[in-house]
Amino acid sequence: MFRFFVTKSWFPWSIGGSLFILISTWYQVQLDVKINEWFGEFYDTLQKALTTPNSVTELEFIAYLFTFAKIAGLWIVIAVITGFFTSHWTFRWRTSMADYYHNNWSKARLIEGASQRVQEDTLKFARIMEGLGVGLLESLMTLFAFTPILWVLSKQIDKLPWIGQVDHALVWVAILSALGGTALLVVAGIKLPGIEYDIQKEEAAYRKELVLGEDDPIRTAPPTIGQLYSRVRRIHYKMYFHYLYFNVVKWSYLQGMVIVPYLALAPTIVTGAITLGFVQQITRAFGKVETSLQYFVRSWPVIVELISVYRRLREFEAKLRSQESISEKV
């Protein structure tokens, strides 16, 4: 699966492409930092304009909007280019996998489910890695960029409700709440990867019987096909049940986290110690840090699918290596 990064012929794409995605993602995050600074300045100006009439001219106010448009426009261009390039990059990764399977097809075809592994699972693997990989990279860079910002802004927030004095309070709230939520969701979804893997096995057995039934009607006659579909139905219902309580935990946590920064800021807000612009800037920085730390929480269902695909491809390649060893001995 990872020959893409160790095969010399793929180096221009694997290494060069990775560097391009790294740099473009870093630049996007820096633009996000600029936008966060803009929010602070803009809302302070807005507060000034609303509390002191004619203290801000129309041209000054519109200038702030044009500043945002320039930064956001550049962010959009970089995001589109990065997304376009990443799609090509992950398809090259899939191609490197497919090339290996094609070159060894005489042995691979002897393995049950080979066609599905080569066509469907390589496609799923590439698409999932495209989303998860870039998402993880962006989350890490956002975390590294916004944590120092939140740390500096949190100097003015040194008191939490029911707790009292805490230096740089919002940084610790973001870290502890995100890590606690991640641990909670991992426990709630611990069974999902195994169930997803079982679903794919049952679906594969059902699909195989249907394919064989195209040439032999007896294969798809009851009760054989009915029994296979019954197993498919049973494992899907099992997955729905486990996702039921997983989603209760997930969405309760995510919705609850919406009010957390405002709750943490409550003692400072009610004393009037900070401005509206500062509230916007620090809550946005808090959201960036928290969302980055919540990467696994938000991506868990996709990670579950990736684990399942990875296990199937790993087993397939292990069997392929066994076939190669047998061929060499013969």
Cβ burial, residue 116 (10 Å; 0-12/13-18/19+): middle
Residue 214: which pLDDT band, with cuts at 50, 70 and 90? low
pTM: 0.76
Interacting residues of 61 by C-beta distance below 8 A, sequence separation 6+: 45, 49
Residue 271: which pLDDT band, with cuts at 50, 70 and 90? confident
What's the pLDDT at 104? 83
Mean pLDDT confidence for 117-138: 86
Residue 85: which pLDDT band, with cuts at 50, 70 and 90? very high
- Helix H or strand E segment including 165: strand 164-165
CA dihedral 36, 37, 42, 47 (to 10 degrees): 90
Cβ burial, residue 196 (10 Å; 0-12/13-18/19+): buried
What's the pLDDT at 238? 92
Phi, psi of 113 (to 5 degrees): 80, 20
What's the pLDDT at 262? 87
What's the pLDDT at 297? 79
What's the pLDDT at 63? 92
The amino acid that residue 311 corresponds to is R
What's the pLDDT at 203? 83
What's the pLDDT at 111? 81
Say if residues 277 and 41 touch (Cβ distance below 8 Å). Answer: yes
Output helix, strand, coil percentages for the chain, rounded to the nearest 5: 85, 0, 15
What's the pLDDT at 328? 59
What's the pLDDT at 222? 61
What's the pLDDT at 219? 58
Which of 95-109, 215-229, 250-264 shows the lowest mean pLDDT across its residues? 215-229
Say if residues 39 and 284 touch (Cβ distance below 8 Å). Answer: yes
Instruction: Report the alpha-carbon angle 24-9-313, nearest 5.
Output: 80
Mean pLDDT confidence for 118-131: 86
Say if residues 312 and 77 touch (Cβ distance below 8 Å). Answer: no
What's the pLDDT at 76? 94
DSSP 1: -
The SS3 call for residue 223 is coil
Say if residues 210 and 228 touch (Cβ distance below 8 Å). Answer: no
Residue 290 has pLDDT above 70, yes or no: yes
Strands 164-165 vs 159-160: parallel, antiparallel or unpaired:
antiparallel
Interacting residues of 137 by C-beta distance below 8 A, sequence separation 6+: 21, 22, 25
What's the pLDDT at 325? 66
Residue 241: which pLDDT band, with cuts at 50, 70 and 90? very high
What's the pLDDT at 70? 94
What's the pLDDT at 216? 65
CATH of segment(s) 3-193+246-329: 1.20.1560.10
The neighbouring-strand residues paired with 160 are 164
Residue 327: which pLDDT band, with cuts at 50, 70 and 90? low
Mean pLDDT confidence for 217-236: 77
Helix 122-153 vs helix 295-329: crossing angle, to nearest 10: 140
What's the pLDDT at 157? 80
